Chain A
Amino acid sequence: MLERIGVGSMDDLYADVPADFIYKGEYDLPSAMSEQQVRDFFESLASKNTRLKVFVGQGAYDHYVPSVIPYITSRSEFLTAYTPYQCEISQGTLRYIFEWQSMICRLTGLDCANASMYDGPTAAAEAMRMCVASAKRRNSVLVSARLLPNVIETIQTYAKYAGINVVVSDTVFEDAAEGVLDLAGVIVPSINRFGVIENHLGLADLVHEMGALLVEYCDPSALAVVKSPAEWGADIAVGDGQSLGIPLCFGGPYVGFMACTAALMRKLPGRIVGETTDASGKRCYVLTLQAREQHIRREKATSNICSNESLMALWCTVYLSLMGPEGMRRVNALCYEGAHYLHDALLATGKFQRVFDADFLKEFCLKPLCPVHKLQKALLDAGFFAALQTEEGYVTFCVTEKHTREEMDRIVEIVKSI
């Protein structure tokens, strides 16, 4: 090989690199491990973690993962492919993205969706950018203080450098009407960080009257039973697909989703798959509307996003296929029943006060009347991750279809003993 290249040694291939930049030292890395050693190494690290029964949500939900999904997503034809640039040998990827887009449209009720975003918080930040890009000379976005803290922080981070004015508000209706001068968008949670399903009746009209766009941040699993962004009149829907059966995995990889009305289609960031035909008339799928994207438009692109979370979009697509409309309703029914059972049982202990008298689904918060650290410690000692404290001092709980009545009764017993 060297002969064909016409060099004498491998090092000659680096002759154009200034000699002082060639690293001559020993790399400060462990000695090469065998497969067995790597396995043992990671098993031993994993054993330093504590596996807990997770009764906390706050953006990451411990839903059951149907066994089919990892088998499908680990098929190497999906797993080891790149972005589907060569559509003739990427119809598998392109079709599942098209299905994902279709399912996101059905969940949100909106007209079009993209191939995916990194996660929910970054999708929210991109939605903020879309609002400002769609508005003329308007630069402020009103953000509900009841969004999850990591969503607000990510929005603020993107806004800071882009020079967008973010107003975090606990009184979105009032502020949308009069509080902000150059309003480009309003971002509200469909279910807020206290678990309350928010009532946004009239909000879209208000926001539209001000010439701004309404963004709903949603839990896609819950969208099977709570009002969809389209029903509230929203222009853009974003959120994290994690609740559609993606393992917790210490926070990632998850997948963000984004959907919007037809009017905003060409403002969407990221990849979009569309249907067309080949020369012989066969139905096929391609990356389309690429004139929005960074590899064509460079600094004028709608976003810088390139790689997204394609395989996790497949994960959610398979999940939604398995669940169907009835499975989605059933998951939510189980969550609802479990959460309300625990909620009522915890209140009955007398150790908590109710904070909100409002509808909730799987997540709720209470005001503790006992020392929170003692409560958390006792729960942790019994193997439960529960009662995560909010900045207001409330504690949150989340119940999914994975949890049993026995586990909840145990939690209640522990609470009683505090």
Chain B
Amino acid sequence: MKYYDKLIFELSKPGRIGFSLPRPADRQQLPFGNTATLGTLRGGTASEAQRWGPKDVSEGQAAAGSKVCSKVWREAPLDLPEVSEVDVVRHYTNLSQMNFGVDTGFYPLGSCTMKYNPKINEEIAGIPGFAGLHPLQPNETVKGAFEVLVGMDKALAAITGMKHFTFLPCAGAHGELTGLMLMREYHMSRGDTARTKVIVPDSAHGTNPASAAVCGLDIVVVKSKEDGLVDVEALKGLLGPDIAGIMLTNPNTLGLFERDIKQIAELVHGCGGLLYYDGANMNPLLGMVRPGDMGFDIMHLNLHKTFSTPHGGGGPGAGPVGVSDKVLPFLHIPRVSGFHGNFGIILRAYAYILMLGREHIKLAGKFATLSANYIKESLKDCYKLPIPSVCKHEFVFDGLLDDNGVTTLDVAKRLLDYGFHAPTIYFPLLFHQAIMIEPTETESLETLDAFIAVMRKIAEEAKTDPELLHGAPHNTPIGRPDETTAARQPVLKYE
């Protein structure tokens, strides 16, 4: 990767343009933006000045009696970059070359499920018969789009054991929020208004407590035991008539299957609460275990994790929410986004499911689990493995066994030098030096072995040359940034 130090604003030259648009007819009629330069600009198609016919415009305006008043029009100048098309293309191509994606290399980012994103899915989403649909078109003109939603609903129901899904949520956390709204609707419909608390394990994703807070719920934390699983005895003490439900990730963020789930479900249901399934960790259960069968009432899926749609540098994703019979009557209530959710993402995920089909779906989760356990067992003599049991899609090391002052951050940064993305680090919060590794099912044995070899090499370097690691990365476009200054004296825009 090559360092490229430009912002698009710095390429700007007055009068340069990157667009190709017809010319407006008669600038004199416009109440805004009269600029002297317009007539001299290149880039407009052959004179379109007569397109509307100035006569019509003036007559029309007279007929309409429209009063052109300046009160509502912008007076402040609009300082956008003035660049040519090739400037734009080169600039963003150069920027892209400072980026690492799944297509660049192995991306073992824990809890993020960075599996390969099949290219056919992108083409499907670009089919003009979908991409050109206005969201408010009459139903009879969007039958194919509705068939996509109905088919996807059916497929997700089959995969998860839930009854039906809503596709409005645009991301995982958005799905959590929607699911908690449904939890509240369920209790409110029964007049059970005292249920204002939701139980969240201490190992939960940060979005769980944050979503609960946005939904107006109070959070009660249930501790994990030494073996990393929810402490059922502690849970019993928290249950009561004020509990709306529990949010669980299963397997949890340590990659461990909550084996007491049956008892947890009985306890929570017994106290009148509901079970919410955080689908961020659904991948190892894909084709193996259905959340609906475990007793979950509400769940979300991250289509951008389990169902292979690209993460786009932080979205767009999609977080459809599924419910059991019990919660179904409320599914239509929360209006959490503008139209039909991220339809383009749903298309991609549907294509993925159809290519897996009923034959191959049973392999996806299994291979993800196989990869994770293989890495775990191959590195546990160099990295501290706090919980040795069989994991699912991911697992957590707690730093190096023989750290010699080398931190998890150092290890992560050194991995970048070797052409791998770093794992998730310092999460979950249960361990001080957490390294959370999730390889997914789409990596070959050779890739896993190459990663293992590099992780072992880094462990060696930690013993022999810790300074090398403290200073890593060395081969990336930039070195470690000064994050303190960034936060203390924020520069958030180009000036």
Cβ of B468 within 8 Å of any chain A Cβ, yes or no, is no
Q: List 7 A-B contacts (CB under 8 A).
A: A30-B357, A38-B120, A119-B339, A227-B72, A252-B338, A321-B88, A337-B24
Known A226-B73, A284-B478, A295-B427; contact A70-B126, beta-carbon cutoff 8 A:
yes
- Residues of A in contact with B, size category: 35 or more
Chain A residues in 8 Å Cβ range of B310? 79-80, 311
Question: In the complex, which of the residues B132, B313, B485 contacts A82, with contact meaning CB atoms closer than 8 Å?
Answer: B313
Known A45-B144, A89-B416, A151-B338; contact A324-B66, beta-carbon cutoff 8 A:
no
Q: Which of chain B's residues 41-94 have a Cβ closer than 8 Å to chain A?
A: 41, 44, 51-52, 56-57, 59-61, 63-69, 71-83, 85, 88-89, 91-93
Chain B residues in 8 Å Cβ range of A70? 126
Cβ of A142 within 8 Å of any chain B Cβ, yes or no, is no
Chain A residues in 8 Å Cβ range of B446? none
Question: In the complex, which of the residues A39, A153, A295, A405 contacts B206, with contact meaning CB atoms closer than 8 Å?
Answer: A295
In angstroms, how far is the closest chain B Cβ from the Cβ of A110?
10
Q: Which 8 A-B pairs have the closest CB atoms?
A: A251-B339, A32-B357, A46-B129, A311-B312, A251-B135, A344-B60, A92-B99, A80-B101
Q: How far is the CA of A309 from the CA of B161 in the complex (A)?
A: 29
In angstroms, how far is the closest chain A Cβ from the Cβ of B231?
17
Chain B residues in 8 Å Cβ range of A376? 138
Question: In the complex, which of the residues B33, B35, B289, B313 contacts A21, with contact meaning CB atoms closer than 8 Å?
Answer: B289
Cβ of B314 within 8 Å of any chain A Cβ, yes or no, is yes
Cβ of B236 within 8 Å of any chain A Cβ, yes or no, is no
- Residues of B in contact with A, size category: 35 or more
Known A92-B96, A307-B315; contact A345-B60, beta-carbon cutoff 8 A:
yes
Known A252-B316, A310-B315; contact A154-B336, beta-carbon cutoff 8 A:
yes
Known A38-B355, A283-B5, A324-B19; contact A299-B213, beta-carbon cutoff 8 A:
yes
Chain B residues in 8 Å Cβ range of A310? 312-316
Question: In the complex, which of the residues A10, A82, A295, A299 contacts B112, with contact meaning CB atoms closer than 8 Å?
Answer: A82
In angstroms, how far is the closest chain B Cβ from the Cβ of A148?
8
Q: Which of B166-174, B399-407, B453-461 lies on the face that meets chain A?
A: B166-174
Residue pair A99, B374 in contact (C-beta under 8 Å): no
Cβ of A264 within 8 Å of any chain B Cβ, yes or no, is no
Cβ of B1 within 8 Å of any chain A Cβ, yes or no, is yes
Residue pair B486, A288 in contact (C-beta under 8 Å): yes
Residue pair A122, B174 in contact (C-beta under 8 Å): yes
Known A16-B257, A29-B159, A46-B144; contact A119-B120, beta-carbon cutoff 8 A:
no
Cβ of B232 within 8 Å of any chain A Cβ, yes or no, is no
Known A5-B377, A252-B344; contact A337-B29, beta-carbon cutoff 8 A:
yes
Residue pair B338, A116 in contact (C-beta under 8 Å): no
In angstroms, how far is the closest chain B Cβ from the Cβ of A318?
6
In angstroms, how far is the closest chain A Cβ from the Cβ of B123?
7
Chain A residues in 8 Å Cβ range of B38? 326, 329-330
Return the chain B residue nearest A106 by Cβ.
Answer: B79
Q: How far is the CA of A10 from the CA of B287 in the complex (A)?
A: 13
Cβ of B31 within 8 Å of any chain A Cβ, yes or no, is yes
A 374-418 to B, binary, CB cutoff 8 A, 1 in contact else 0: 001000100001001000000000000100010000000000000
Chain A residues in 8 Å Cβ range of B30? 333, 336-337
B 216-236 to A, binary, CB cutoff 8 A, 1 in contact else 0: 100100000000000000000
Known A86-B422, A299-B209; contact A341-B147, beta-carbon cutoff 8 A:
no
Q: How far is the CA of A322 from the CA of B16 in the complex (A)?
A: 10
Chain A residues in 8 Å Cβ range of B134? 52, 54, 56, 60, 62, 248, 250, 385
Residue pair B479, A282 in contact (C-beta under 8 Å): yes
Cβ of B311 within 8 Å of any chain A Cβ, yes or no, is yes
Chain B residues in 8 Å Cβ range of A78? 96, 99, 101, 312-313
Return the chain B residue nearest A305 by Cβ.
Answer: B173
A 106-133 to B, binary, CB cutoff 8 A, 1 in contact else 0: 1101011101101111100000010000
Residue pair A327, B366 in contact (C-beta under 8 Å): no
Residue pair A307, B171 in contact (C-beta under 8 Å): yes
Residue pair B339, A29 in contact (C-beta under 8 Å): no
Cβ of B22 within 8 Å of any chain A Cβ, yes or no, is yes
Chain A residues in 8 Å Cβ range of B330? none
Known A48-B144, A49-B145; contact A86-B412, beta-carbon cutoff 8 A:
yes
